[in-house]
Structure 1
């Protein structure tokens, strides 16, 4: 039996003991994970520095801070999430107990990505633990140092049988995918996503696919251009452009292009100085393969800002491309690097048509001071998420579901959404062996009269909230009537 098969088998046996179903045990594991992030902060940040040249501050800001917030939320709310959830009843079931109970799925496989290797790997793990599952964690092999820290240190804090870490490359991942899981959670690109889904189909395993795509950014003529371009530059060049929800390209009217280029140039210098290569806040491309891929993408486009590069250091400066054509190389795939193409278009309607011609993106950005423009973009397009007048920050809101649609993914996570995604929401109805006379309408022989009664009892909803409010109002009315009578007639 291979290492991967052993890990899955042990996780299955550990889940079958039932210990992960205990809510207090889940909270204990979540607190241990919280302690891991605190006590191993130095090792985490050092690994990120070696893999992606992220500084310690950048590591905490974009990797661990969100995890700390997610852990705090899960620890505080998991008992509420796991509790039975009452639902609306009809007259037929008004005397019954009817609710939804979130139950663990079983053993979950979590396959992480390399661009934010801690954030996108541990965040679904938090939800898996909170939901009471076992989880096999497969970090990306591309971030060698981060994967090693996960493999060595995570088992010192978590139940190593319930939450094993399996490292390795394509071969190890393929072996894992041959095993039966109860859910697979994958973050990465759509090409691999299709392979994940095909492997999962053999076992009828449900999947959550957090993919990517070309996330458009429309800049309207009615906006504060300096602020808009600063936010676009931040969203695009953070992590050297290696962010699944980075604005992939800009759409604007032709007359705006020159000013947009100038404002983005100012923002780049403000963020990364006039020499980004020496700036500690500017990262590097993950490896030589991706460096060459990105350099190839801008071969047939005109550089307006940046373009400097160093293959030995995997460095590509923040780069803006002007007058980009729809058939340019850089427009044929997700860039996932520090290139920002600008495509001049005729206005909002043309921008919407252009966006709708392509695959549905993971994120869609629109900058405008006109609420009508924002609403039109929202109502006439489809995307995993929409953000107006900023970039990336919707990812940080735990109450918002984060996920794709169509080619950009399926399923969602963050906060309670992760808990629900990795739970079976079981419908429960508890009856008593009484009131059998009411059930006669459903038993043979079937008649029109019985159908009429069934129609009445099933189609009429019984609103407990309404009757509860009515009862409360009645009690308050009686109280005030009694109070007034005492004050005015016996005073």
Structure 2
């Protein structure tokens, strides 16, 4: 496939106005919805073939979430597309002023392997909704899903509207050389820097959805049993291979032992019939990722769990004793290993968190509204939950995105529409009045009158 030709084909398709009006956008969203719903089984089987994700997890996190997003756009798109009327000012009176929501053009969406359908198609919903054409680059680390996306999308959409380009680093590099109107990237901070550098060469705007070490904080007044259930639910989804998974737990020292005991009980209940990768638990995606996690495990003090099997890429959810300087606390884990740290002074904890790179998410478990307000106000993070984990992603009324090293820009719901749109400001004036004093030549009297009227 000649990438330059694919790109030019999309630019020409967009210039012909094939994506702009409401009915076309609506029809394309409905077509994408039918594609996903009618091929649910094929998509879920592809994800399972790539890294053994159980059917329920694939359906709930890959299929349902995107269908829900499409339905939300279909319900609200017409309203979002309407020009926004804004007020005039004394300087521009009389005039009528509007902000038009315009598509950007041809966009590049680079998906991620850990949720290969969701993280490729979720931003696509926003791109279609905003009236763009899109080239998708699924992750080569999930080849079966990438192939399914290419096959099914090419059957349903003109490549001028949506094209799927498969490949590895060389392909991505060639794509980044094209003068796209927007690049949307989901992945690691390391690759995000490469994407941003390439985009900067052509002044292409970017949205980066990255990651980081998202903390879960368990304060002394929290319901420890509920905390353990919700934290381990967020951690064991996709075997911890989730950008917003709780990466570590900072627990008040007075409830540390209780939290560990409840964690053991919760994991025993969640997986009472043992672990079955592909059945009730997800594999680690490949040997390289397994080896990285195994190396962290070998260096750690295991409190509970720790069983692994390279043959089937299985790593058990594991509770690890850690401190801020531990090796496992240096980078995002992206797996089912959970370091436990303790704190006694919330102010000291806040300082520790502020000294670290800003995470994509933060989860606070407490009944203390003063502490809640301090954490929200003083600690930089993308978004999060109070007394819950991960579920903020399921509300299309909330923007999802990072800050600092965890990303820039946001999407979901109307925020996706806005991410792939640009505001065009238009002021309309009548031919009358047209006072002479606004035109040269200017004298001291005009300056004096101007200051009286406008100062």
Q: In which range does the TM-score fall when normalised by the shorter chain?
A: over 0.9
In the alignment, what sits opposite 2:103? Answer: 104
Q: Does 1:19 align with 2:30?
A: no
Count matched residues. Answer: 453
SS in 2 for 1:19: coil
How far off its partner does 1:454 sit? 4.5
Give, in whole Å, the separation in 2 of the partners of 1:154 and 1:453: 63
Any residues of structure 2 matched to 1:453-468 within 5 Å, and which? 453-455=452-454
Asked if the contact 1:441/1:450 (under 8 Å) is kept, the reply is no
How far off its partner does 1:204 sit? 0.4
Give, in whole Å, the separation in 1 of the partners of 2:425 and 2:440: 24
Q: Does 1:350 align with 2:352?
A: no
Structure 2: where are the runs of 5+ without partners?
Answer: none
- What TM-score comes out, normalization by structure 1 length? 0.90
How far off its partner does 1:441 sit? 4.6
Question: Which residue of the other structure, out of 373, 376, 379, is the alignment partner of 1:378?
Answer: 376
Give, in whole Å, the separation in 1 of the partners of 2:277 and 2:131: 46
In the alignment, what sits opposite 1:335? Answer: 333
In the alignment, what sits opposite 2:308? Answer: 309
Question: Which residue of the other structure, out of 413, 416, 419, is the alignment partner of 2:417?
Answer: 419
Give, in whole Å, the separation in 2 of the partners of 1:32 and 1:90: 44
Question: Which residue of the other structure, out of 426, 442, 450, is the alignment partner of 1:445?
Answer: 442
How far off its partner does 1:443 sit? 5.1
Any residues of structure 2 matched to 1:96-175 within 5 Å, and which? 96-175=95-174
How far off its partner does 1:22 sit? 1.8
Give, in whole Å, the separation in 2 of the partners of 1:227 and 1:82: 42
Asked if the contact 1:442/1:454 (under 8 Å) is kept, the reply is no
Asked if the contact 2:105/2:181 (under 8 Å) is kept, the reply is yes
Q: Which one is further off, 157-166 or 312-321? A: 157-166
Any residues of structure 2 matched to 1:239-254 within 5 Å, and which? 239-254=238-253
Give, in whole Å, the separation in 1 of the partners of 2:273 and 2:38: 37
**Closer, same or farther in 2 for the Cα pair 1:123/1:453, shift >3 Å?**
farther
Q: Which one is further off, 277-286 or 358-367? A: 277-286
Any residues of structure 2 matched to 1:317-328 within 5 Å, and which? 317-322=316-321, 324-328=322-326
Structure 1: where are the runs of 5+ without partners?
Answer: 457-491
SS in 2 for 1:90: coil
Asked if the contact 1:272/1:279 (under 8 Å) is kept, the reply is no
In the alignment, what sits opposite 1:296? Answer: 295
**Closer, same or farther in 2 for the Cα pair 1:373/1:274, shift >3 Å?**
farther
In the alignment, what sits opposite 2:426? Answer: 428
In the alignment, what sits opposite 2:41? Answer: 42
Structure with greater helix share of residues: 1
In the alignment, what sits opposite 1:396? Answer: 394
Any residues of structure 2 matched to 1:199-214 within 5 Å, and which? 199-214=198-213
SS in 2 for 1:91: coil
How far off its partner does 1:94 sit? 4.4
How far off its partner does 1:257 sit? 1.9
In the alignment, what sits opposite 1:486? Answer: none
How far off its partner does 1:175 sit? 0.8
Give, in whole Å, the separation in 1 of the partners of 2:440 and 2:80: 38
How far off its partner does 1:165 sit? 0.4
**Closer, same or farther in 2 for the Cα pair 1:443/1:233, shift >3 Å?**
farther
**Closer, same or farther in 2 for the Cα pair 1:162/1:446, shift >3 Å?**
farther
Asked if the contact 2:277/2:314 (under 8 Å) is kept, the reply is no
SS in 2 for 1:89: coil
Give, in whole Å, the separation in 2 of the partners of 1:210 and 1:327: 26
From the CA coordinates, give the structure whose radius of gyration is larger: 1
How far off its partner does 1:349 sit? 1.2
How far off its partner does 1:296 sit? 1.0
How far off its partner does 1:109 sit? 0.2
Asked if the contact 2:220/2:254 (under 8 Å) is kept, the reply is no
How far off its partner does 1:159 sit? 2.7
Q: Which one is further off, 170-179 or 272-281? A: 272-281
How far off its partner does 1:274 sit? 5.5
How far off its partner does 1:13 sit? 1.3
Asked if the contact 2:53/2:277 (under 8 Å) is kept, the reply is no
SS in 1 for 2:422: strand
SS in 2 for 1:285: coil
How far off its partner does 1:297 sit? 1.5
How far off its partner does 1:276 sit? 1.9
CA RMSD of aligned residues (A): 1.5
